[in-house]
Amino acid sequence: MKEEVKDALLIALVLDGKGGGRPLRGPEVQLRPREDGGVAWIHLDVDHSDASKLLAERSALPEDLREALLASETRPRAHHEGAGLFLIIRGINLNPGEEPDDMVSLRLWLEPGLVISARRQRIVATRDVEALLAKGKGPRNVGEFLVAILEILIRRIGELVNLLEEKATTCRSACSRAGARSCGPRSPRCVGKSSRSAAIWPRSARAWSPCCASRPRGSPRRSATTSPPWSSCTRATSKTCKRCTIA
């Protein structure tokens, strides 16, 4: 579900160098390095029609960097240019109705005195950094800003991985006790009665029947990289179970 946004400018702050920040308004909103020793942080919604205009009129970025910030399709990468660094990083998708493993991207341009961040889908990490700045506990400079964003993204990925491991262990134990009956990522034996619990399983994992040696027609063959984390429970049964095949 796409968040409704009325303005391309989502966040406009200047870091005070002490862990806090103050809003930038009107003509102060410039996508250029600060000359007073502060750091401007501008966060944009690149799907908004005004984002391209803001970058063209209020920044000194070359056209190729502006296009990279506005691109509809992205892949993780890093590019050093002059005194700046362009990054595309990804984080867990926490938007309502979305799959957590359908990751959202954050585009970043960092140089002394300036941070420009841009996104298409809502990404919670930027709001977390904004909240830290409001409490006076945020980044004091460009380097600390990047570290703060990465720490938040990595922590959330770790939390999801830990949750998946717990679910996989629960499923494996339930399948071992139940044999080949009624096992699978959507089975109450594995995830309980919560539909949200089933939603956190990666799509690649949900494509498999965890108890069956066979695989659904048209699905890829098992490999070291595609086998689900609970695949050991397939070895606990000798029969092919048709009931638990996930479509």
73-83 residue pLDDT tens? 888 899 999 89
Q: What pLDDT is stored for residue 91 in this prediction?
A: 83
The tokens of 84 are what?
């700046």
Q: What is the pLDDT of residues 117-165, one digit of tens each?
A: 999 888 889 999 999 999 999 999 999 999 999 999 999 888 888 888 8
Domain ranges of the chain: 9-140, 158-236
Superfamily assignment of 9-140 in CATH? CorA soluble domain-like (3.30.460.20)
Query: Between the CA of residue 195 and those of 35, 97, 236, what are the distances in Å?
Result: 52, 12, 27
Indicate whether this model's pTM tops 0.75: no
List the one residue out of 15, 4, 62 whose CA is nearest residue 40.
15
Residues in contact with 38: Cβ distance below 8 Å, sequence separation at least 6, in sequence order: 14, 15, 16, 17, 113
Please list, residue by residue across 115-126, b when 16 or more beta carbons sit within 10 angstroms of its beta carbon and e when fewer do. Answer: bbbbbbbbbbbb
Query: Between the CA of residue 120 and those of 74, 101, 104, what are the distances in Å?
Result: 11, 16, 8
Per-residue pLDDT of the chain (247 residues; tens, 9 = 90+): 445 556 899 999 999 999 999 999 988 999 999 988 899 999 999 999 899 999 999 999 999 999 999 998 888 899 999 899 999 998 877 766 767 666 788 999 999 999 999 998 888 899 999 999 999 999 999 999 999 999 999 998 888 888 888 888 888 777 777 665 555 555 555 544 344 444 444 444 443 334 433 344 444 444 444 444 434 343 333 333 433 333 2
Quick one: which H or E segment has residue 80? Answer: strand 77-81
Edge-first strand order for the sheet with 104-111 is 21-23, 9-15, 39-45, 114-119, 104-111, 84-91, 77-81
Question: What is the C-alpha to C-alpha distance for residues 116 and 104, in angstroms, rounded to an integer?
Answer: 17
Residue in this structure with the two tokens 């890829």, named with its chain if needed: 220
Residue type, 35: E
